[in-house]
Amino acid sequence: MELLSVAEMTCADALAVKDGGDSFALMQRAGQAVAAAAQVLAPSGDIVVVAGRGNNGGDGFIAAADLAARGRNVAVALLCNPETLTGDAARAAKEWHGPLLPFVPRSLGKPALVIDALFGAGLDREVKDEPRAMIEAINASGALVLAVDLPSGVNGNSGEAMGVAVQATRTVTFFRKKPGHLLLPGRLHCGKVSVADIGIPPRVLDVIHPKTFENDPAWWRGHFPVPGIAGHKYGRGHAVVMSGGMAETGAARLAARAALRAGAGLVTVASPRDALAVNAAALTSVMVREIGTAVDFASYLEDARLNACVIGPGAGIGLRTRDMVLTALSGPRAVVLDADALTSFADMPQTLFDAIAAQPGAQAVLTPHEGEFARLFASLANKDHLLSKLERARLAARESNAVVLIKGADTVVAAPDGRASIAENAPPWLATAGAGDALSGMIGGMLAQRVSAFEAASIAVWMHGEAARMFGPGLIAEDLADVLPNVFRDLYRRFDVNL
């Protein structure tokens, strides 16, 4: 579940050695894990290991020796003179007695498998010269490719391709995944990722205290709301979704139905008068109430049972939406701000951030896509080429005092305290109009059930992706809420919940 940065993984290795481990034994286990994966991926045919000068290359030498001992025809193409290797990598190279090829593209030949052990996860510079030519040759070879730790050229922290990157068929990493395995475009280069146990004791995580997690049910299981047999609808919270004018009501209804399906006990659409009839005619289990002004909204929110608000989907951009947002933030309730609510503060973001900071309980979730993020967090967007999506989400959460969710195929959720989750379960057909409105409603439904903001957003993101995966191609936003019962059933089985 934990994702380790490059520095944290280095620390894990060091702690394992300090705890009585042997660094070369760790390398041996890593190389043996690579060899085992190679044998499964390519049971026959020639194998070429492309090795670099660091420990990643050392892993490659160990894998080569193991595969040769199994009777495979293996050769190693090494980036540098073997005499210049140091430490464990030098020791691993001395144990290799097979062919050592020149580090040129033609050395690849026509193998069944290339093992990419060129660069590790810590690469932070653009790939140039001979390594670039070799990576391009690997990608053009037509061979299966097994990457060691991370495809060479991908930055382990950001997922960025540093000029060029290996396109792997499979990747074997060690102890824990890195953010670069999940963030785009890195994830697209990895193929299927497996994590090998190389003997690093899990207790090292108690020292590292990682704050980045793969967004998976195993991580948030303890926060997942399960209704009690003796419960009632008011115990599961009451979410309010703000609607815009008559021509902009669909988004609010998508959010409202998703909030109800996500488990909120009651959901009301707060609607201006001109849209009241449209909303009422299209909704059944979701209630509708006329709310024309911020004064009306403030009066309505005096009912303490209204514990979650969703504002933004189809709300309209401008003063009315800003006033509604500030009104919602003035009391002790959870608030989801999406779409028009975010854009309405594009010219005055600090006003929004100050209101969130002053909110009793401070349970606010902002859900921008990249365009909305750029408008609301202009200073961070201007550094887009310097900061990863994970870094931008963390900085935005700290700046805004809110949980920030940056949507996409690799949705990142970040909390002001530095915790973050990265999702990888969104299928391509989830990119459809209205899907974000349904997501904001699902977050609102989780918040209504009194799930804390960071966990509520992360759970909703995963369920959103899982609902889309279950439905399959042809998905439209209206389908998401209707598939949620199936998602719940699967989660209850996974969590062994007996209702």
**Binding-site positions for (6S)-NADPHX:** 55-59, 120-126, 149, 251, 314, 369, 437
DSSP track, 131-173: HHHHHHHHHHS--EEEEESS-TTB-TTT--B-S-----SEEEE
Strands 420-422 and 412-414: antiparallel
Burial of 24 per CB tally in 10 Å (0-12, 13-18, 19+): middle
The residue type of 75 is: A
The Cβ of residue 104 has, within 10 Å, a number of other Cβ atoms equal to 12
Binding-site residue ranges: 55-59, 116, 120-126, 149, 152, 251, 314, 369, 407-411, 436-437
Burial of 436 per CB tally in 10 Å (0-12, 13-18, 19+): buried
Burial of 149 per CB tally in 10 Å (0-12, 13-18, 19+): buried
CA dist 141 and 8 (Å) reads 34
Tell me the H-state helices in 290-346: 294-300, 319-328, 340-343
Six-digit token string for 467 = 């609902």
Binding-site residue ranges for AMP: 407-411, 436
Binding-site residue ranges for K(+): 56, 116, 152
Task: Give me the residues paired with residue 240 across strands.
Answer: 268, 309
Helices (H) and strands (E) in the chain, counts: 20, 18
Give CA torsion, residues 364, 370, 373, 374, to 10 deg: 180
CA dist 78 and 49 (Å) reads 8
